[in-house]
Amino acid sequence: MSPRNRAASKSSSTSEILIPEKLYFRIGEVARLCRLPAYVLRFWETEFPQLKPIKSSTGQRMYRHKDVESVISIKKLLYEDGFTIAGARQHLRAETKADKKQTPLPFPARSASDLKHVRQGLREILTMLSARR
């Protein structure tokens, strides 16, 4: 396979991964889904704090949907975008901070007449409920 074809197949691989609707995935399933060896996933667990699969009572790694999404993101950063492990870790950390700093959506401004109308409606409901007693 030529370097050009290899690059094309790598770039399409992470964008084409469809994650089934399941609660948990075993490491082998994630490895198959993401086309990665299981040892790479185990190594990434030590390098990326975002990747924290839980362990079953038998010690089997159980990846949640968000863990699989993290694996896909890490794979894209490392294999397609050319990040080093340290660079990918820093990029994901910055991405997480940006998500936490997201400004809340402002509530639409209500005019005084709108609020009076809502209050009146609530009073009417309260009157109806009081009359039932």
Residue 15 has a pLDDT of 62
> Is the confidence at residue 43, as pLDDT, over 80?
yes
The full length of the chain comes to 133
> Is the confidence at residue 4, as pLDDT, over 70?
no
Residue type, 119: R
Contact 44, 74 (CB under 8 A): yes
Comparing 44-48, 78-82, 103-107, 110-114, the range with the smallest average pLDDT is 103-107
Q: Which sequence spans correspond to the domains of the chain?
A: 3-103
Residue type, 109: A
How sure is the predictor about 26, in pLDDT bands with cuts at 50, 70 and 90? very high
Residue 9 has a pLDDT of 41
HEC letters along the chain: CCHHHHHHHHHHHHHCCCCCCCCCEEHHHHHHHHCCCHHHHHHHHHHCCCCCCEECCCCCEEECHHHHHHHHHHHHHHHHCCCCHHHHHHHHHHHHHHHHCCCCCCCCCCCHHHHHHHHHHHHHHHHHHHHCC
Structural class in CATH, domain 3-103? mainly alpha
* Residue labelled with tokens 């401004």: 109
